[in-house]
Structure 1
Amino acid sequence: MTERAPPPSKNSWSWRSQAFRGLLYQIIAIVLIALVVWFLAHNTLVNMRVRGIQSGFDFLLQPAGFDIGESLYHFDSGEPYWRAFLIGVSNTLRVAIVGIVLTTILGTLIGVGRFSRNALVRGLCVSYVELFRNIPILLQLLMWYLLFTELLPAASEAWVMGPFFLSKGGINFPIPIWASGHAWAAAALVLGIVLAWLYRRWARARFEQTGQPRSMFWVPLAIIILMGLFGWLAGGAPTELDTPKRGEFAIEKGGALTPEFLAVLLGLTLYTAAFVSEVVRAGIQSVSRGQGEAAAALGLNRSLEMRLVMLPQALRVIIPPLTNQYLNLTKNSSLAVAIGYPDVVSISNTAINQTGRAVECIAIVMLVYLITSLATSLLMNWYNARAAIKER
């Protein structure tokens, strides 16, 4: 038989090529979007110049001229605006990260509790969801703030629980005075986290080979704690603490969680956990009932059935909507300005009032939330890819 000649290659730059047309359409769309953005920016700058409104980001190098009531590091009013914005970003991230962790734990517990055989537990979980998700988040933030500032006693009459003080000023607690031993402990904790991760991989592989479950929580937790303790002992075991004391007008020294921070954290956590619990419940319900029956036939109790069979399969359904709830929590933290918490929005409002650079300050806030949301999405998409079913 004579070999048939191969078909002639198509010209990739021909209008008949679908790939070429698609590339051309994308280039045209990008150019149009760039032109629209340039027109809006140019028109805004021209109008601001005509009205004598200053523009530019040079104000970030000027002294801020105001104090910040709550920050993770020292800030003086003579420091520039960019450091004030950094404090606002750190306060926003502190609320968002801690809130996401607490929301995940609480939402998962409530979602699993919806499947409890105890009618009282199921009823409490349903009542929690219906109560907190149907009250606007802003009202919840105001409610918690009023509870902390109106019902708690003044600093002079603060409730004392050991070394802890609870008053209108928030919660005051002892903190360690920094020493080299704490750096050793931190390094050992990081090493302990790595070892705990390696142990979990080994335990999962052994479970797949032998079918015998091993501790996936308590043993890794013990590894992390023991490594941290070993590092602390190796660094000289520093024990000196900065203990809070009752002052004339406020609780002095030590660490503090302000009522603004507590109100924002509680409000965001309790509100978002109601939605996360529904995501978890829907994910568990998506798993076939036969999976639970098979787990019971193998002799697994209710706890092991949920932890080893139902939740791992439901995770593939849970992660995408859970990502949306994490993003909602982060963006809802901007409402903290209503109760005076100095997040990035609050710092931006103060900067606008003092400098008049409204466009620039709003652009900074938008950039902060854009980067935060994209970073959260990338992390959750990576985790979602790991949890997805691997197809051949």
Structure 2
Amino acid sequence: MRDKQKYLRDHCFGNLNLKDEDIKFLRMCVDKNTTPQQLADYYATIDFENLSGQHVCALAELSTRLHYEGVPRSLNPRVRGVVRYYRMMNLGQMQDFHAFLKICNRQGIDVMLMKGGAMKGYYKRNGICYMGDVDCWVRYEDFDRLCKLMQSNSEYESFVSMPHLVLKRERYYVEAHQFFLKENLHKNNEAVFWEDAISTEIQGEKVFIPAPESMLILILTNIFLDAAEGDSILKRKWMRWITDINTILEEHQVDWDKVLALCERYSLGLQVKTMLGIFCDIMPGKVPEDILGRINVADMTVKKIPVMLKRSAAHRMGQQIRRKKRFRYAWLMLKYHWNYHRYVSEKFCLLIDLFTFPNYIKKMWGCKTWREWILYIFRKIKNVDSRKLS
């Protein structure tokens, strides 16, 4: 077990590429005693022009916390501009989400914020967040009704990318999910996340955010899969998940028994233990010493490591395919989804997986028949050719 986890961290998640200076910066971000001189020394070691969006966002937030003391004079206007940009972007995104939320509340559809949108509820006032869209989750039984409701609304451009509903209005996106966790694609038993959810309001409209324990599970399982997707994903996400987890641990009394129970219930021990172990290496002392040892990693989950690696390899190869190999792209896409299906399956058995794969295709792509599935693949090939591979 230990050897397989070590292999996973060294090979699958080697693209985290956390250098000593990165770890030092992350610790500065979470340390309430960071001084302006430490910030000035850090600015002297970096090339501001070539930082990733996540890095710039975290650096700007730290600079704001220190009232811009320690920011070089030449960069001061740029850093202040970054802060204003993210604040206005976040404001616009949440304002657009408010319009969507209002529609849902009028129809009696409960909405729970996820990912960056949910973390806004954990930040202090005016905290900035790097968000490409606003992710939310609705109850499984409400998802089809929401799709029909929003597709008939002329204010939104909408398309169902199962199991998500993607909505666009002007420049902002809302993505409504049918499942709280990707690993639960074959399960409809996620009601426990609603039971512990925190009810709050956005401009008078009711919305839910996950409980601290649920939020920890969501962040760790998402980054586990994202890390396996390749460097392009981690350039955006490698930093924020560390500071997000730290924010939750510092601002809330986390019930670790509940976290362990969720891991056991949904067979998430491998994902949570791997990523929480990386977090503990970077931020020692934040998590009780006995927690990692108490997380149970099921044998079935360990068997899925090679499947997950095949899925990741197909994803990376698919990103590099050229136009003339578009049918190979279709094969890689099928391979990716077959392995993803096996990764999220409840029973790690080839015969059962063959039987349940059509149901997976229906949930992921909305294809009810093999004919619809074949047509979907050809549309996907055409879309990839015109948008990405030209």
* TM-score normalised to structure 2 length: 0.21
* TM-score normalised to structure 1 length: 0.21
Higher helix share: 1
Which structure would you say has the larger RCO, counting Cα contacts within 8 Å and 6 or more residues apart? 1
